[in-house]
Structure 1
Amino acid sequence: MLHDRTEALDPLADAEDGVVKNRAKVGSARPSSLLYTYGPGAIMDLPGFSVMPAGLDDWEPIWKRRPFIPSIIEPRLLNVVRLHLGPQVDGLRPFPWQPKKGAMSKEGDDLGIPSRVFPQLFRCTGCDFLGPLPRFSYANTHPFRPDLAQFTHKNCPGRGRQRAGSTARKRESPAVPAQHLLTCANGHLDEFPYALWVHRGGKCPRAELPDLKMRDANVGKSVGSTIQCASCGATRGMAEAQGGVGRDKLPQKCRGRHPHLNAFDAECDARPALIMMGASNLWFASTQSIIVMPRTDAEEKEALADRLRVELGVEQVQQFGAQVDVIRALAIAKHIDMAGITDDDVVAAVADVLAPADSEAERHEKLAAWDPVDLLVPEWRYLQKPSLFPQQQNSSGLMVTEMQRGLELHERIGRVVAVNQMKKINAVLGFTRLDEMDRVNDLVSRLVKLARTGKPTWVPATEDRGEGIFLQLDSAAVDGWEQGILASPLWDAHKEAHRRNFSRRFSETAKLVDPDTRLPAPRYWLLHSLSHALIREMAMSSGYGAASLTERIYGWSASPQREAAAGLLICTTASDSEGTLGGLVALSEPARLQGLVVSALRRASRCSSDPVCAMRTPSDPEDFLHGAACHCCSFASETSCEKANRFLDRRFLLNLPTATGDTVSGFFGSVDAL
């Protein structure tokens, strides 16, 4: 969506019927891409320009167009969001979208994601003029072609020199965003100061606000673009701003700008760095997800409290909390299902809503002790109880079936569970720039705020449905194998590489964390490598592309808080449909699965980059977080891997040679024995 910088963001501000004017809609995206790729603070590249989804404050007027705001009720995930962002978060909301009944109907036309044009410095493709947004004209008049929206430079003189007295007609040339930006490790993002750059930190001697030109370098001359001042003739190449040497020539103080919030932070102690508009490290989403499990009685009461908190509000619950009948009537009016809810349940829910929240000190203490694995433990425990499967509550969206093990299935795979139906909920906590927080499981203080106050009352979430296959390895065999790996030189090399990788992060808060506490155990590497091998093999038999399959690894050692786990779930989900077609869960049939596992392991035993790949071991100064794994044999797409292709090594699966000539004991032994 677009807006005038002096007005509030509003997707319908210029969509009047029967009037030819610029329309608000400039594009669309799937919920999953808005969650993981183009959320608030990210740059979405459109055909003619780019926009940045705004912060959550600007979404409120959009939601108020509906009599009630939809919400996703999942207490387990909401509690984690509150732990990270504060107790004021009262709900998870889907993206403002509504399906249409017909192609020409207008349901949902008043909903959308408000966005800002960013960057707001443009370059004319006809004359190379570089200037701010108001110097260009905007056109978006076609009701069904938002892709035609663009900015143009009227009266563009072109690149040729006009003779004095020439009457040649000037043209209107398209304009494109200037690609260079400044960012810092604290998540700020700003326009590149081209005027200061070309004048080497000073002012133009001939004009207070000089016109600039951005010329692309000719082949063979220099790398990057050249900035030229039209008033004084000063020129400077953008190549000088690149790298460590170039960073010293940039402004040494960050202005603290958050374009998605249209605001500035008062102070920022980080140094700016040059970044290109399409760089992959410009925006990293920080998300948490859960698989919806059948709720216990306690969780059902907690869910009712969440609904009352969201739909009625704390003030209304406080006002009528002593009157159960009134609370019940208000809840029914807000479309809350009260069937089977007793008066005692209502009283307990009201007490939960009105209970005092933890203090900030208590919340930060709990957050310091929190581990992302805590979200996986209930799922693992449920999958360990086949006796619960026949009585499963289908209202949760989960339907699983214990499968018979094939006689020829590898003996170290202990159990197979078909996940016929599942529902997965994903919520965004914030984002980082330059370096992904999950890369080192960094401190939560690195997250860029989603609202101007830094304390949102809700966060965006998606609800996905799909299917999958769960495999559990033999626990005793994993324990014995892991002890051997921990004493091997290969594991020592991986541990040292992880320490080097940790210390070289852009994040300033990473130095406050012990890197050894963030290195996954060998069993995680084993399960992760096996998962990637199976994803590649299943993609050829399930009817889904490899990028549509995702993994969920249950791999942690025993601790006082939880029992050990060694299993993996490969699933496919979609947020804009009622589920999937069953092609993946069909592979859990014993005859098909045992052949698929053997084939996957045999493919993993060789790589077109062997022997280089099979013997790859990080050594100082290398800091890569994988061993015998590469794009040819193990790496998966970003949509499939939960660790961005880190913590992979085929030598943990099978006996492969190492750089020193000896072999590490692979969990599944020799490929010849398969």
Structure 2
Amino acid sequence: MITTYGVGSLVAVDNESFIVAGTDSWNISDAPTVFEHRLARVLGVKSFRLPPASDDTSKDGVHVRRFPLWHSCPKCASLQHVRRFNSPAGKNECSACEEDLVPSRFVMACAKGHIDDFPYWKWAHRKNRAEGETGLCGGEMRLRTSGKTASLRSILISCTCGVPEVSMEGAFTGTALSDLNVFCSGKRPWLKDAPTERCSERPRTLQRGSSVAWQPIVRTALSIPPWSDEHFTRLGSRLDDLREMYEAGDEHGIRVYLKVLGIEKKYEFSAAKVIALLAAENQEDGGSDGEATVDSPFVRLRNQEYERLIVGQPEKETGREDQFVCEHPLSSPAVLSPYGVTGPMLVKRLREVRALKAFSRVDTPETRTDVHQAALSLVELDWLPAMEVQGEGVFLRLDEDRLDDWARSVAVAARTDRIRNNHTRMTRERAQDPESVPDSPASPRMILLHTLAHALINEWSLDGGYPAASLRERLYASDAMAGILICTATSDSAGSLGGLVAQGEPDRLRNSLDSALDRARWCSADPLCVESTGSGVGGINMAACHACVLLPETSCEHNNGLLDRALLVGTPEDPSIGFFSDVLRY
């Protein structure tokens, strides 16, 4: 419900297809509430709700609506609106043939999130528009497959009015619909009673199961002290009341409120701690580092996490319900010095909240592009759907002085510039206003950290007991940060295997680095992979492919982009490009 089948997405159930309804249509009376105050304040909501997992007898649940509405009968080949089949109550079948109907494989959507049925009538009559009084020809549409090939050429559309039969070939070109004078209808079928919007976007033909038919826009945050403290997790929704009292300057009211709440919850709250937390929140909201941008709040979230991961929080200083435990390893990290790795931390207890903020269609939300964010509800709500992942992780940093010396290399800068230029070109081509697109985040530091995280995840999936898809990277790459956190990515059984923290002990981490770097030296697609001047979507990778450093989509923050293993180990022609080339055993 957060990453795959969220609000506005198309879900196939047996022989039927549905679109997930907006959050204002959900019945969530019994849905658990998830609190993560840092993320909630940035997203402008009070809390998050876990999408309810309901059965047939439950009173709550996530609603869906039938979509697309055009269906076909596999027996009589009739193609029309589902209501015209006169299906019996509770069934979705052709009343004449008693065969299950097949939902349309094709829909049309635009970059603003609108979606509608594919205009079959206009497609079949595009060279013969003999329209009657009703605006149509009066005939009945038919759909059949020739079976000769698996291409669109074998899907044939016809009409009993006598127009020549046409195939679906060419329907997916960028101008296919606009050439027919088909414009975006502005419909939002996932929102109940939503009026149609005026839209000037060019609609595109999509398969209803296509990945670009629905792309989630998810925001995440780690629970860190003091918000992860057992003391504050017990407050939950009461923090809003306390915040109002603090803003009114009523410290006495806060003390009385906490005393009464302590009796109710049988827990002794410290008014001094609560007041200090509220003061920290106010100070955080009032200041911003440098020029304010859309991403500034999320950058501050990362900065706070980075600082806390460096400082840590030993288990002996935490309570049973604390959500963050981060400790230094038992042995000396000196063995990692030749690798330029400093400050490894063992994150023994970790909680991450992932909230679905919005979604997009047609345009993939690549890194920092201005894709349109389609709303999850027609009316503004004070909550968003979210999930929480509790697990473990390993945090490590790279020596910043050594990083800066390495990044000054002309060869390193040349490879990075190529990736940055390709990424900037791709984002500007997709943007509505190319001049407003921010600069690409690709830098030598960022690409190196990103590729290292991928190499370690692949290594630990073999050595640590976790599938690669159940581990996830969290990058801290900027002028002031140079770290990576590899943590549990899923809340299912694969995310609770244990053993990941053990990989962060210096001796074991050194062995993992040796093995990961050794694997990165050679790819089964070499020499094509290592000699690539641009791979992946838009050429935003260089030496990176599925045979070496690419990961499952759930594991990567940047959609498997901005990667180059040559910056780890160098190239056969110039090994010095690699940050770790000095420690490789040739």
Distance 2:405 2:378 in 1: 52
Distance 1:326 1:407 in 2: 51
The structure-2 alpha-carbon separation of the partners of 1:71 and 1:386, relative to structure 1 and needing over 3 Å to count, comes to closer
Number of residue pairs aligned between Structure 1 and Structure 2:
572
> Match of 2:449?
527
> Match of 1:45?
12
> Match of 2:524?
608
Unmatched 5+ stretches in structure 1: 1-33, 83-88, 99-105, 142-149, 157-171, 558-563
Deviation at 1:133, TM superposition (A): 2.2
Distance 1:51 1:622 in 2: 30
Q: 2:488 aligns with which of 572, 578, 592?
A: 572
Deviation at 1:613, TM superposition (A): 0.7
Distance 1:261 1:473 in 2: 47
The structure-2 alpha-carbon separation of the partners of 1:113 and 1:321, relative to structure 1 and needing over 3 Å to count, comes to farther
Look up the SS of the partner of 1:616 in the other structure: coil
Distance 1:510 1:525 in 2: 24
Deviation at 1:617, TM superposition (A): 1.4
> Match of 1:476?
401
Deviation at 1:401, TM superposition (A): 2.3
Match for 2:19: what amino acid?
M
Asked if 1:235 is matched to 2:169, the reply is: no
Look up the SS of the partner of 1:219 in the other structure: coil
Unmatched 5+ stretches in structure 2: none
| 8 A Cα contact 1:91 1:458, kept in partner | yes
The structure-2 alpha-carbon separation of the partners of 1:419 and 1:622, relative to structure 1 and needing over 3 Å to count, comes to closer
Distance 1:303 1:77 in 2: 18
Cα deviation code 1:199-243 (max 9, x no counterpart): 228455597654211112331596252211134455322213221
Distance 1:408 1:323 in 2: 54
Match for 1:130: what amino acid?
L
Deviation at 1:553, TM superposition (A): 1.1
Asked if 1:592 is matched to 2:508, the reply is: yes
Q: 2:141 aligns with which of 185, 206, 212?
A: 212
Distance 2:81 2:369 in 1: 37
Match for 2:216: what amino acid?
A
| 8 A Cα contact 2:458 2:468, kept in partner | yes
The structure-2 alpha-carbon separation of the partners of 1:520 and 1:394, relative to structure 1 and needing over 3 Å to count, comes to farther
Deviation at 1:540, TM superposition (A): 1.0
| 8 A Cα contact 1:73 1:307, kept in partner | no
Distance 2:326 2:273 in 1: 33
Higher mean displacement: 172-181 or 238-247 = 238-247
Give the share of equivalent positions with the same residue, in percent: 30
Asked if 1:127 is matched to 2:76, the reply is: yes
| 8 A Cα contact 1:187 1:433, kept in partner | yes
Asked if 1:283 is matched to 2:245, the reply is: no
Cα deviation code 1:434-457 (max 9, x no counterpart): 1223x141347x21011113x332
> Match of 1:554?
476
The structure-2 alpha-carbon separation of the partners of 1:502 and 1:443, relative to structure 1 and needing over 3 Å to count, comes to closer
Match for 1:419: what amino acid?
V
Asked if 1:449 is matched to 2:375, the reply is: yes
Distance 1:469 1:138 in 2: 56
Distance 2:420 2:272 in 1: 56
The structure-2 alpha-carbon separation of the partners of 1:460 and 1:193, relative to structure 1 and needing over 3 Å to count, comes to same
Look up the SS of the partner of 2:458 in the other structure: helix
The structure-2 alpha-carbon separation of the partners of 1:565 and 1:655, relative to structure 1 and needing over 3 Å to count, comes to same
> Match of 1:665?
577
Deviation at 1:494, TM superposition (A): 1.8
Higher mean displacement: 198-207 or 647-656 = 198-207
> Match of 1:412?
340
| 8 A Cα contact 2:138 2:161, kept in partner | no
Look up the SS of the partner of 2:346 in the other structure: strand
Match for 1:154: what amino acid?
S
Q: 2:117 aligns with which of 187, 191, 196?
A: 191
Asked if 1:154 is matched to 2:98, the reply is: no
Deviation at 1:527, TM superposition (A): 0.9
Q: CA RMSD in A?
A: 4.0
Distance 1:339 1:384 in 2: 30
> Match of 1:94?
50
| 8 A Cα contact 2:344 2:504, kept in partner | yes
Distance 1:111 1:190 in 2: 28
| 8 A Cα contact 1:205 1:232, kept in partner | no
| 8 A Cα contact 2:569 2:575, kept in partner | no
Match for 2:48: what amino acid?
L
Distance 1:610 1:108 in 2: 56
Distance 2:138 2:266 in 1: 62
Cα deviation code 1:7-39 (max 9, x no counterpart): xxxxxxxxxxxxxxxxxxxxxxxxxxx101110
Cα deviation code 1:323-345 (max 9, x no counterpart): 77996799689x87874154996
> Match of 1:629?
544
